[in-house]
Amino acid sequence: MTESDKSTRDRLIETAMRLFHEQGYAATGVSTILREAGVKSGSLYYFFPTKEALLLAVLDRYMELLEPVILQPAFEATPDPVGRIFAVLEGYRQALIFTQCTMGCPIGNLALELSDTYPEVREKLSGLFNAWCKAIKGCLDAAGDRLPSHLNRETLSRFILTVMEGGMMQSRAQRSVEPYEASIAHLRDYFDQLIAAGAAKSSVASDVSP
């Protein structure tokens, strides 16, 4: 009984996490969560006052999983800070391939579905984005003088998240990894140019080297 010795609360969170990712929040009925988790409705409402509270718990779980599931595996792949960033992005690419481009980023999905409906949910989604960007910014900081010194690492970390989320959105809509791969390739190109400019120790945009 690998599954049922987990607590009822955990089974509810994990089942809801999976179903929200597969189908979205509104499209997932409470009855479906109950059936797939093997839990009766009374038990759900013993732990969570509403369906929204269950969603908030799911978002907390995502925050807990960010480090061990997303960051650590990628950071183990290489000690190079820039390489680690692209290892994270490669992880999402693998997830796209594994799900045949059907699922995308769970946080991004929920962000566009309901960042207007519940203020608390929006804040947690915002917090998840911030935590992701902070980790990436840590890599940018660690890259030191390989990047131009005047470069805004804060906005660049936002830009990287932008490319990841936008790329996954398109790949899901097109049912093909190509848009994601193309986006990452252009981000890689941008990085190569930033690093080249950093090595030249000169301005990014205005440098027309002979």
- What's the chain's Rg over C-alpha atoms? 20
Contact positions toward DNA, by CB under 7 A?
7-8, 28-32, 39-47, 49-52
- Which of positions 61-90 make contact with a second copy (CB under 8 A)? none
Cβ at position 79, least distance to a second copy in Å: 23
Cβ at position 51, least distance to DNA in Å: 3
Does the footprint of a second copy cover residue 138 (CB under 8 A)? no
Cβ at position 25, least distance to a second copy in Å: 8
Does the footprint of a second copy cover residue 158 (CB under 8 A)? yes
| Residue from the set 102, 120, 141, 144 that interacts with a second copy by CB under 8 A | 102
- Interface pattern 30-59 for a second copy (x via CB under 8 A): ------------------------------
